Structure 1
């Protein structure tokens, strides 16, 4: 099977991790895979591209030719990315490459993002090449609710974002409706049930195949199991993720105030005011953006991960932490509930309930070694980790779903 994948491999996120690993595994399975990076997502990180090419993923030459897009502010990009329906035929630099994509002779176009801005491009590619388009959802592409709840942790600024999102979701939904009604978008997959639940996209997906992957993400067992540790843990908490409000960074100080230990924090800060918040708290130890081996070593020794995330599709942070032998306290958002709900070491609290999160974290910090280890050696946990310990399992489901469109 020849797959033309549309994806961003430059963003430091779980989405890029998924894309890179799945494409490599599809090649191992015998598929011929070409990656096309939309021009507006290109970054000059040749190391990532060379890594993919060394795994025999074909990287389309356009990524080396287009000029790297200038950095724009959050709000301008926010507006641009969610209003593509109003400029449906505006393909920018990508337009000149669409015709030559015919030479790849793909069997299927696989857009590995939920965004409407990549849907616009993949729609035109699939239509031009007369090939089925399949879309992958990590987060929800739109919601029927008012905004995304930003007002609850960003105040007035968050309310403004929620008002914008409420309007933008109408455009995002129209982009999907057009792609479906035109018979171009033929399949939609999700890394978990969460994006379907939050968007209700199945209500508009007439004659479209839908699939929730049983194994939506995986961890690298060769690295993770070097550090896994379920006993003789140290009495501190840890947090690692993209350090943005959606991941709960603004709640960390309030949780730390109630915690009986320090919180060690890893990740890249995108806002200097957030840096000040972290650096000024006596019980938060901010380590910065560190090599993954250092992060894994520290997480494996910790007794609990504090994870007040508001937005996820399938959390690689929680998956990696569980595989490292460390317990988790997270908000009861759909992505956590649908993926991790039956696993003893993963406890949830109501969203925004920082007092309850701190209370449960303190209970975990005081657990006896025998009880703690017993939860991590539970049969359900073992089966879950085995299933999610190989990206080949994710790629197998992906291959089978894409093959249904041949």
Structure 2
């Protein structure tokens, strides 16, 4: 099967990790894969591209030719990315390359993002070369609710953000409706049930094939199991993720104040205010953006991950942490509930309830070694980890779903 994949491999996120690993595994399975990165997402990082080519993933020549544009403000990109429906035929620099993509002769086009801004591009590519388009959801592409709940932890600024999102979600939804009604978008997959649940996209998906992958993400067993430990844990908590409000960093100081032990934090800050908020707290030890081996070693020794995330599709942070043998306390958001809630080492508390999160974390910190190890040794935990210990399992589901459109 020839696959034209539309994806951003440059963003330091779980989405890029998914894209890179799945494309490599699809090639191992015998698929011919070509990666096209939209021009507005191209970054100067040939190392990533060379790594993909070493794994026999074809990188379309435009990804090398397009120069990284000047950085736009977050607000500017935010507005542009959510209003593409109003400029549906404005393809920017990508318009120069669409005709050339015909030469690849793909069997299917796989847009590996939930965004409407990549949907606009993949829509035009699919229409031009007359091939089925399949979309992958990590997070929800839109919601029917009022915003994303940012007003609850960002105050007035969050209310403004939620109001904008309420409007922009209408445009995002219209982009999907157009792609469906025009007969271009043929299928939608999700890394978990969460994006379907939050968007209720099945209500507009007339005649589309929908699929929730059983194995939406995976962890790197060869690296992680070097640092896995379920006994001899040390009494501290840990947090690592993108250090943004969506991941709960504004609540982290409050949680730290209620914890019996310190929280070690890894990650990259995106503004000075959040950095001051965390680094000024005596119960938080910020170690910066460190090599992944150092992070895994620290997480593997920790007794609990504090994970007050408000936004996820299928958390690689939670998956890696569980594989490292460390327990988790997380908010009851759909992604955590649908993927992890039946696993004893993963404790779920009500969203925004920092007291319950701290109380539950303290209970884990006080847990006896025998009980702690017993929870991590349960059959369903072992089976879950085995299933998610290989990206080949994710790629197999991807291959099988895409094959349905041939």
| TM superposition score category, shorter chain reference | over 0.9
1:64 maps onto 2:75 in alignment: no
**Residue correspondence of structure 1 range 3-402 to structure 2 within 5 A:** 3-402=3-402
Tell me which stretches of 4 or more aligned residues in structure 1 moved more than 6 Å.
none
Distance, in Å, in 1 between the alignment partners of 2:272 and 2:2 is 45
What is the CA distance between 1:70 and its match in structure 2?
1.5
Offset from partner CA, 1:233-259 (integer Å, 9 cap, x none): 000000000000000010000000000
- How many Å separate the matches in 2 of 1:166 and 1:400? 35
Q: Please give the alpha-carbon distance, in whole angstroms, between the structure 1 residues aligned to 2:153 and 2:178.
A: 34
Residue 325 of structure 1: how far off its partner (Å): 0.1
| Mapped partners of 1:354, 1:47: distance in 2 | 41
TM-score (norm 1): 1.00
Contact 2:44/2:67 (CA < 8 Å) preserved in 1?
no
Task: Give the Cα separation in 2 of the matches to 1:224 and 1:155.
Answer: 38
**Number of residues of Structure 1 aligned to a counterpart in Structure 2:** 406
The unaligned stretches of length 5 or more in structure 1 are: none
The alpha-carbon deviation at position 377 of structure 1 amounts to: 0.5
Shift of 1:69: 2.0
**What displacement does 1:74 show?**
1.5
- The root-mean-square deviation of aligned C-alpha atoms, in Å, is 0.4
The answer to which of 385-394 and 63-72 deviates more is 63-72
Return the alpha-carbon distance in structure 1 between the equivalents of residues 39 and 400 of structure 2. 29
Residues in 2 aligned to 1:203 and 1:108: alpha-carbon distance in whole angstroms = 24
Q: Deviations over 1:46-68 (max 9, x none)?
A: 11111101000000010111121
Q: Deviations over 1:239-288 (max 9, x none)?
A: 00000000001000000000000000001111111111111000100011
Q: Which runs of 5+ in 2 are unaligned?
A: none
C-alpha distance in structure 1 between counterparts of 2:113 and 2:174, whole Å = 17
Distance 2:46 2:261 in 1: 41
Partners of 2:338 and 2:279 lie apart in 1 by 34
Deviation at 1:71, TM superposition (A): 1.2
